[in-house]
Structure 1
């Protein structure tokens, strides 16, 4: 029988979120129902509420989540009821040209649940990133469930579902940070600080954090940044070069998504260095660079999709590193809140007061 549970929706552009009753269908073929234990409040949820993703209101918000599988539909073999899982928003298909080339982290045909969750009047909801996890239980494609060690607390493990994985993967998977590298990270929110933590874990010896907010730079030190630069008071390109022997960083991760910060990243990298764009730009933004500089500097300009992660490979690994005390997921959790506190969490996010508020159910 379908379940009626409490969830958080954005009914219209810019309107405060609402706590409402949501009807969750029984899982169909290839689907799973997950009892949500915790879900991080990500900036992407705020983008949905403000109409910055699309206009398919009402949205069921929340996507950075962990919980326990309650039921599965026909044909599901990868997870079973009782499994502790982290939800992901890129369930790979296994059949597209990227998957068949052995690069499933680039899957061009990722998928979500076929059925829709609804309001009690039958209005269909658009789940954020195909998940919708500010809710007591949610319906997803079974491939969006990644089984991990249940010893990890849900409030920490759930953050792998989006921001932490995006930042870690931008540095390690996309940027290829390795032993002895110099790394600069521009923008030190949750994603940027995950890139810093990933760079440290991968063996980078110089890790430079750049932001306009001294509070975020202090957080960056906690994740292992060896140097910090406040770009309100110092030219970040000059500072990064000075801290890398005049050359620039081997890898620069741009975690803001603005033309001006991307240009800083471009000029702050060493010759043959790598720029990784993981900050999400709005559709209207454009960047202009002299082609001779693009040619003459060599190296690579990359964008990072979800940290180019493969959830089945990366989530369990990062949970294991967390349990070994080598990757500080707890450090990203600024506060734990209830479902009714999401709107207040958005305000704290606006002010830069938190790395992550986490809804605990």
Structure 2
């Protein structure tokens, strides 16, 4: 067992704390990873605010890269010294989805069996709930070995670590879930980290037009840099209706188009989901990748509109990715200069800066703050 520093959320809405935790030696199917970098994701904030569940205290952090330090006795997929990106889809190979060949929909993904615990104070020994089964705002973390995906060690850790969640979720929402490709149009509503990643994925796939929608001019400027061909300011002051504008832009590109072939909703709110629903072309696809809160409901849309527009209404969980397939491919594209993952790293910070990074996230000042250890 080792003791390391880590960022923990003890109670709903309370500021995070840096504490000392116990990291067990790896058992069967487990690995201890020395964390190099970890992005500050909205999901971590959801955990802190009690928006995921109430299993406090949480060990936050999950968008991480690191070096495998030790593995359990039966682990063969990774070895000490491997440079890895951590993932939260360690497939089981036994569930119904896996057995039918849909590993990217695995219903029983693996996490470490042992629990990391608080090391000091009156609550020493209390088990921690690691965010998404990872818990990487820590100098070292214990994970299932299948959560370690080997990638090219030539890559910049702060950049490729973001594939562990937000960037993969966005790219995958466009390419895997939305199946966007050449000759197809896409609109992305919400241009934070995940939305901009969806735009980057659409650009990789050759989609056109690629329409970015947001209320923040700074985010639209970033979206343009990452591949958006058109931007729509949907703030109240602009006076623009995003649905009307998306339809207009697509009709200018493809005769007869009545919206985008794919609309990615990267906000996670009923009103933007409704915009995405009506901004689709006939037989178009809506992809929900923004994370809603439990109290939100699907808008009151006439069922005849659901039937009459056809197409598909999908949710994208982790970009429908298979880490062992997608992470190495995207890292290779990054190293070839075809995918600018560096552009997602707004700042590099320390463990003690996580709470301040949450505040900057609220104000939309960053794509990603990345903790560097």
Same fold (TM over 0.5): yes
- From 279, 293, 316, give the equivalent of 2:290: 279
1:205 deviates by 1.6
Asked if 1:178 is matched to 2:181, the reply is yes
Structure 1 window deviating more from structure 2 (243-252 vs 217-226): it is 243-252
Distance across 2 between alignment mates of 1:38 and 1:332:
14
- From 132, 137, 145, give the equivalent of 1:134: 137
Question: Residues 165-205 of structure 1: CA distance to partner in whole angstroms, max 9, x if unpaired?
Answer: 00000000000000121100000000000000000000102
> TM-score, normalising length from structure 2?
0.96
Asked if 1:356 is matched to 2:368, the reply is yes
- From 218, 239, 250, give the equivalent of 1:244: 250
Matches within 5 A, 1:2-81: 2-81=1-80
- From 148, 161, 164, give the equivalent of 1:161: 164
Distance across 2 between alignment mates of 1:278 and 1:342:
24
- From 192, 198, 218, give the equivalent of 1:215: 218
1:305 deviates by 1.0
Pairwise CA RMSD of aligned residues? Answer: 0.6
- From 322, 325, 343, give the equivalent of 1:331: 343
Distance across 2 between alignment mates of 1:45 and 1:180:
37
Question: Residues 3-40 of structure 1: CA distance to partner in whole angstroms, max 9, x if unpaired?
Answer: 00000000111111101001100000000000000000
Distance across 2 between alignment mates of 1:181 and 1:322:
24
Asked if 1:306 is matched to 2:318, the reply is yes
Asked if 1:149 is matched to 2:149, the reply is no
Gaps of 5+ in 2: 252-256
Distance across 2 between alignment mates of 1:248 and 1:221:
20
Distance across 2 between alignment mates of 1:158 and 1:292:
44
Distance across 2 between alignment mates of 1:222 and 1:26:
44
Aligned partner of residue 244 in structure 1, secondary structure? helix
Equivalent residue number for residue 254 of structure 2: none
Equivalent residue number for residue 289 of structure 1: 301
Distance across 1 between alignment mates of 2:225 and 2:147:
31
Counterpart contact for 2:51–2:294, Cα < 8 Å: no
Distance across 1 between alignment mates of 2:140 and 2:183:
44
Question: Residues 285-306 of structure 1: CA distance to partner in whole angstroms, max 9, x if unpaired?
Answer: 1112211111111111111110
1:111 deviates by 1.6
Gaps of 5+ in 1: none
1:247 deviates by 1.4
Aligned partner of residue 253 in structure 1, secondary structure? strand
> TM-score, normalising length from structure 1?
0.99
Asked if 1:265 is matched to 2:250, the reply is no
Question: Residues 315-357 of structure 1: CA distance to partner in whole angstroms, max 9, x if unpaired?
Answer: 0000000000001100000000001100110010011100000
Deviation above 6 Å: which 4+ runs of structure 1? none
